Structure 1
């Protein structure tokens, strides 16, 4: 199991890419269905901005802490658990809760889609390819995620348009949220069993639990590679 590489894990990498797409559908779908979303929940533009802001703040915190967390948790549990909890948030949203609870759901998604998901996802992805195959592994992941985003976006938008013409916009939104929630949960369960079988067991016996978070950050900040990547991302 420890010697499995890119060729043996291509299907698993594509499943992880599906997970990487599915976990973000719920936090971001409000942008693509803005008018329908506002009408469905009876909120205004300022409140919509608040939802995005709280998600963004938690995402920033999540990116800062995510790597530290990824070195201390079971990757398969973190990835699959994040998807399942994200999906369950959709069912709470369907109840059309009071706005503070609505904000709380987006705060939760800021944690489950970034802090407990993204860095564990990247660490698992790296483990699914050998050292000489990392480029191919990441390329397959990004390519699959991009294609799935493009195709699913077209299909779901077309389906939403067709459904709303027959049953109304409100019922269409209910079906859309329900679909995204169920999909996240199903993908979460599927990716758990896939990683259980294909992920090296050594990754679930982390040796970094006693390492200092502050020392880890300082170590990363002293690396020229870190600043090189930061400058590239900023300039882009």
Structure 2
């Protein structure tokens, strides 16, 4: 009994530290979120240079997810997770020197490799393996909420340091170092907390290190091939794709509210904090609880949420916004965001429902990340292009209809996945 209790405690401690890592590993890569103007002023970067760095890093991330299909099941999480977090720390220390632009670009590419190729798929794999089938929704939901909370605390901590040092170049250097040290410390702690991946017992005749490496490589490639041949992994991955396509559209709620309702500057900040942080912390646990305790199925929850989001988006696109008050507009957009955040929190949980073998979890999560997060590489350009082509509210109405179409696609795919699960049972 004591041993079992110890295992449970260690599981949740490991989960908590993973959550801390997930909430800090992207802070340096998205330094612009809190320090856009100081980056321009003290690092001498233009809008184009910052945008180019983000685009190149995004491209590296896309191919990083692809490479991680092999790496995640080849290298133990005990090595991969600490390595990624400590590497982020080293990159951050280099960034704090305010390097030349070519070096700045190189650092941003390395940050993308560490976060998206090494850490993220491995973290998803570890979370899945920490929980049983009945805990998937809650664990992924709590992970998203905790990530949002950690994200907020670390961001305010860095802003506090920056302000305390007079909002100067020295303040920015110290804020970057703060963003660097936190994941570094978490990485060191994770090395001592995480257990190595379980691996099949090797044949006694295969004791040489060369043979062991050869067999490990062979098993990893077999895992990749099995993942690529598994229809259910493709189905779950494209369900993530539909959720993320809708999620990309949430970015345009703030400019819409400013244009349609002349949202005051003070309310823009309040709305942004609620939308970015508050709903992430709320939506994750709510989605996880309903998934595990009410519907007992992440796919059922996604199907229902797709319907709710799609219907609200269609109705919202048809409303006479010119004659409406600002409060209904804010309330409706926040409801849509809350639903989408709850979906985003648990959209990898169906991997257990469709019985993806646990020994290829790393390949499955990497593949799901590659396909699922792919809209981030082009949907912002699609939505932005629509808004540039169609002036005023007409462009936003088209964007909301496109988002509703993706929600409809997600509903149809979720229904098909449920039918597949039922047939398998």
Task: Bin the TM-score by the shorter chain.
Answer: 0.7 to 0.9
Equivalent residue number for residue 94 of structure 1: 96
The separation in 2 between residues aligned to 1:95 and 1:149, in whole angstroms, is 24
**59-68 or 209-218, which moves further after superposition?**
209-218
User: Contact 1:94–1:174 at 8 Å: present in 2 too?
Assistant: yes
The separation in 2 between residues aligned to 1:203 and 1:175, in whole angstroms, is 42
Query: CA offset at residue 61 of structure 1?
Result: 1.0
**SS, match of residue 125 in structure 1:** helix
Equivalent residue number for residue 75 of structure 1: 77
**SS, match of residue 131 in structure 2:** coil
The separation in 2 between residues aligned to 1:26 and 1:210, in whole angstroms, is 32
The separation in 2 between residues aligned to 1:122 and 1:152, in whole angstroms, is 22
**SS, match of residue 202 in structure 1:** coil
User: Contact 1:20–1:145 at 8 Å: present in 2 too?
Assistant: yes
> For 1:159-178, what per-residue CA distance to the aligned partner results, in whole angstroms no more than 9, with x for missing partners?
322222xxx51110111111
Q: 1:27 to 1:226 in 2, by over 3 A?
A: closer
Mark the runs of 5 or more structure 1 residues left unpaired by the alignment.
none
Equivalent residue number for residue 181 of structure 2: 182
The separation in 1 between residues aligned to 2:187 and 2:230, in whole angstroms, is 33
The separation in 2 between residues aligned to 1:128 and 1:221, in whole angstroms, is 21
Q: 1:30 to 1:231 in 2, by over 3 A?
A: closer
The separation in 1 between residues aligned to 2:62 and 2:89, in whole angstroms, is 21
Q: How many residues align?
A: 230
Q: 1:220 to 1:97 in 2, by over 3 A?
A: farther
Equivalent residue number for residue 84 of structure 1: 86
User: Contact 2:69–2:224 at 8 Å: present in 1 too?
Assistant: no
**2-11 or 43-52, which moves further after superposition?**
2-11
1:202 and 2:198 aligned: yes
Q: 1:2 to 1:72 in 2, by over 3 A?
A: farther
**SS, match of residue 25 in structure 2:** helix
TM-score by length of 1: 0.85
Query: CA offset at residue 210 of structure 1?
Result: 3.5
TM-score by length of 2: 0.49
> For 1:67-116, what per-residue CA distance to the aligned partner results, in whole angstroms no more than 9, with x for missing partners?
33211111121111001111101121223322111100001111000011
Q: Aligned ranges for residues 1-236 of structure 1 at < 5 Å?
A: 8-164=10-166, 169-196=168-195, 201-202=197-198, 208-211=219-222, 213=224, 216-220=227-231, 223-236=234-247
User: Contact 2:161–2:171 at 8 Å: present in 1 too?
Assistant: no
The separation in 2 between residues aligned to 1:12 and 1:108, in whole angstroms, is 26
**214-223 or 180-189, which moves further after superposition?**
214-223
Aligned Cα RMSD in Å? 2.7
**110-119 or 57-66, which moves further after superposition?**
57-66
Mark the runs of 5 or more structure 2 residues left unpaired by the alignment.
202-215, 248-425
Q: 1:72 to 1:44 in 2, by over 3 A?
A: same
Larger relative contact order, structure 1 or 2 (CA cutoff 8 Å, min sep 6): 1
User: Contact 1:26–1:177 at 8 Å: present in 2 too?
Assistant: yes
